[in-house]
Amino acid sequence: DTGVSQDPRHKITKRGQNVTFRCDPISEHNRLYWYRQTLGQGPEFLTYFQNEAQLEKSRLLSDRFSAERPKGSFSTLEIQRTEQGDSAMYLCASSLAPGDSPLHFGNGTRLTVT
């Protein structure tokens, strides 16, 4: 068990550019979550997958955000036409079903949009 890994750890981009983040969950975990966290706030839910199916997406999530989990293994989160308000820590977590299992978080990708 190597834990949840995220890549890159840091990303600086200019406004309007597209960025993609990757998350590798714990291998036997079938659930994968994306959260966003800004300074002084708790993690904010973005979306989650069970295996390869995206089961829920936050209503607050802009259409510029898209996530995939091909083959139910790693996941990618893409942000198109980044805005300064997208600057945050993007956290990935994985867990076993059912829903009352603990979440194991990765160390996150810190995005800075200039």
Partner 1 sequence: QQPVQSPQAVILREGEDAVINCSSSKALYSVHWYRQKHGEAPVFLMILLKGGEQKGHDKISASFNEKKQQSSLYLTASQLSYSGTYFCGTELGYSTLTFGKGTMLLVSP
Which residue ranges make up the site for partner 1 (CB under 8 A)? 4, 31, 33, 35, 40-45, 48, 55-56, 91, 98-108
Phi, psi of 102, rounded to the nearest 5 degrees: -65, 150
Q: Which is nearer to partner 1, 22 or 104 (CB)?
A: 104
- All residues at 6 or more sequence positions from 46 whose CB lies less than 8 Å from its CB, including other chains: 33, 34, 35, 36, 57, 58, 61, 65, 67, 77
Tokens of 97: 């079903």
Cross-strand bridge partners of residue 110: 10, 89
Residue 50 CB, shortest distance to partner 1, in Å, is: 8
Q: Using the minimum distance from each CB to partner 1, give the nearer residue, 48 or 113.
A: 48
Q: Is 93 helix (H, G, I), strand (E, B) or coil?
A: strand
Cβ 56 to partner 1, closest distance in Å? Answer: 6
Q: How far is the CB of 92 from partner 1 (least distance, A)?
A: 9
Comparing CB distances to partner 1, the nearer of 66 and 103 is 103
